[in-house]
Chain A
Amino acid sequence: MSAEQGIDIYRRRFLGNAAKASAGLALAPGIMLTELGHAKPADEAVTGQVRWGMLIDSNKCAEGCNDCVQACNDEHGLTGFDRPATDAQWIRKVKLKDRQTGHTQTLPLLCQHCEHPPCVDVCPTGASFKREDGIVLVDKHICIGCRYCMMACPYKARSFIHETLQDQMPYAPRGKGTVESCTFCVHRVDDDRTPACVEACTAENHNALVFGDMHDPSSQISQELERHSSQQIRADLQLNTGVRYRGI
């Protein structure tokens, strides 16, 4: 009995020391990554150390302002064919009205870049996928245009391209027969820039959109999320969205 106790204590000490050692190891790369910031070298793969997210303050979102939508359309060369039901739409303004009080507010709705994306779950080919850094994308090389993901998405965030396209933006390839949605401007993010919608909102001095790394405690988005209460749309689905809202 006493011998067994001795072994147990020895094991506990050993395991305790091992845990301390591994915590130290984990801390060191963590510090490294914070120092490096987001300026990822072009030849390095993205990692799960970062999780990109967006905080949208609907109180600051001006009614009638459409700058984020326009910036997105310009950035990705999205043009319509005068068919609002099927025209590509990566971000849209939604108006909410409290029927009792008549109070109205607007907010932009886009791909919520879920941690557990339903679009990825249902994709039969693996075209819908989540990058290590949390950005949900469609690999159009693999997409067969079945549109299961469009049906699975609770946010109606995805569009299907019905037309033959030409002169796409070189950094935003788009083609007939594939599904697409907000990419968090992945080409900009990989270049250490912010998405076009955020840039447009900030340029207009509305500052309703904050983009950043939700895993970095010193980032503006992390600090604002910590300081103020925020909501996920359809939080009941437990998708852990990357887009959070304030004031709804």
Chain B
Amino acid sequence: MINYGLKILLLGLLLGAAVPASAGGSLLPVIPEAQARVSETQGCVEPVDDMRKNHMEYILHQRDETVHEGIRTQQHSLVECINCHVSDAPDAPRVSSEEHFCNSCHTYAAVRIDCFQCHADRPVSTAQKLSQPGGGESLLLSADRQPAPVSGGQTQ
């Protein structure tokens, strides 16, 4: 009898513990939608499960081929990932934000990525818009310094 009561109590505790987690919103990352699908049957350039697990292998492989051999296919290109997965709206989140496609998952997984110390975190179309004369904010901003255009060539 006591044993039965204990079981009920434990079950109640478990349920009680479980309810707030689901009621307070999922802890899973909210991943922004991509701009397009590869085909009707497939979302990403590889099956989504595969991409979630192995995307880093694909882009690492592509990186060496592109830099050293000039192979510029689009399927596993980081630039194309960003073109499709990040909006080109002026207020599109940067990689520092948890709303950025890459960072949404990487924050959840607690894996820091350094791709975007060099690579653009927004699409080509954003860069083109910004590089137009009067295209809004400068292309290059540092936290504490305002950039100035490079003055004409240095003469010697």
The answer to whether A139 and B150 touch across the interface, beta carbons within 8 angstroms, is no
Known contacts A42-B73, A84-B154, A140-B118; decide if A77 and B67 are in contact (CB<8 Å).
Answer: no
In the complex, the chain B residue whose C-beta lies closest to that of A91 is B153
Interface residues in B124-150 (C-beta closer than 8 Å to A): 124, 127, 130-131, 138-143, 145, 147-150
Give the residue of B122, B139, B143 whose beta carbon is less than 8 angstroms from that of A164: B143
Give the residue of A82, A167, A169 whose beta carbon is less than 8 angstroms from that of B141: A167
A141 surroundings in chain B (CB, below 8 A): 63, 67
**CB<8 Å pairs between A and B, sample of 5:** A44-B71, A73-B150, A92-B153, A93-B153, A167-B120
B138 surroundings in chain A (CB, below 8 A): 79, 167
The answer to whether A46 and B150 touch across the interface, beta carbons within 8 angstroms, is no
Interface residues in B85-116 (C-beta closer than 8 Å to A): 94
Known contacts A46-B70, A129-B68; decide if A167 and B154 are in contact (CB<8 Å).
Answer: no
The answer to whether A171 and B67 touch across the interface, beta carbons within 8 angstroms, is no
The answer to whether A170 and B120 touch across the interface, beta carbons within 8 angstroms, is yes
Shortest A39–chain B CB gap in Å is 13
Name the interface size band of chain B.
35 or more
The answer to whether B73 and A43 touch across the interface, beta carbons within 8 angstroms, is yes
Q: Main SS of chain B's interface residues?
A: loop
Contact with B along A165-189 (1 / 0, CB 8 A): 1111111011110100000001100
A173 surroundings in chain B (CB, below 8 A): 118-120
Shortest B20–chain A CB gap in Å is 39
- Bound Cα distance from A6 to B150, whole angstroms: 74
In the complex, the chain A residue whose C-beta lies closest to that of B80 is A170
A215 surroundings in chain B (CB, below 8 A): none
B79 surroundings in chain A (CB, below 8 A): 170-171
Whether B72 sits at the interface, judged by CB under 8 Å, is: yes
Whether B156 sits at the interface, judged by CB under 8 Å, is: yes
The answer to whether B70 and A190 touch across the interface, beta carbons within 8 angstroms, is yes
- Bound Cα distance from A140 to B66, whole angstroms: 12
Shortest B107–chain A CB gap in Å is 19
The answer to whether B147 and A81 touch across the interface, beta carbons within 8 angstroms, is yes
Give the residue of A44, A45, A170 whose beta carbon is less than 8 angstroms from that of B123: A170
In the complex, the chain B residue whose C-beta lies closest to that of A141 is B63
Other A-B contacts than A42-B71, A46-B69, A170-B83, 20 sampled, CB-CB below 8 A, are A42-B72, A45-B71, A66-B152, A66-B153, A69-B152, A80-B151, A84-B151, A84-B154, A108-B153, A129-B68, A165-B140, A166-B94, A167-B120, A169-B131, A170-B82, A170-B120, A170-B124, A174-B118, A186-B70, A190-B70
Which 7 residue pairs across A and B have the least CB separation, nearest first? A175-B118, A93-B153, A45-B69, A92-B153, A173-B118, A80-B150, A46-B70
Whether A239 sits at the interface, judged by CB under 8 Å, is: no
Whether B3 sits at the interface, judged by CB under 8 Å, is: no
Shortest B67–chain A CB gap in Å is 5
Interface residues of B (CB under 8 A from A): 63, 65, 67-74, 79, 82-83, 94, 117-120, 122-124, 127, 130-131, 138-143, 145, 147-156
The answer to whether A89 and B70 touch across the interface, beta carbons within 8 angstroms, is no
In the complex, the chain A residue whose C-beta lies closest to that of B67 is A139
The answer to whether A166 and B149 touch across the interface, beta carbons within 8 angstroms, is no
Contact with B along A103-144 (1 / 0, CB 8 A): 000101000000000000000000001011100010111000
The answer to whether B73 and A40 touch across the interface, beta carbons within 8 angstroms, is no
- Bound Cα distance from A89 to B68, whole angstroms: 23
- Bound Cα distance from A74 to B133, whole angstroms: 11
The answer to whether B154 and A169 touch across the interface, beta carbons within 8 angstroms, is no
Shortest B127–chain A CB gap in Å is 5
In the complex, the chain A residue whose C-beta lies closest to that of B148 is A82
In the complex, the chain A residue whose C-beta lies closest to that of B143 is A164
The answer to whether B153 and A175 touch across the interface, beta carbons within 8 angstroms, is no
B123 surroundings in chain A (CB, below 8 A): 170
Whether A87 sits at the interface, judged by CB under 8 Å, is: yes
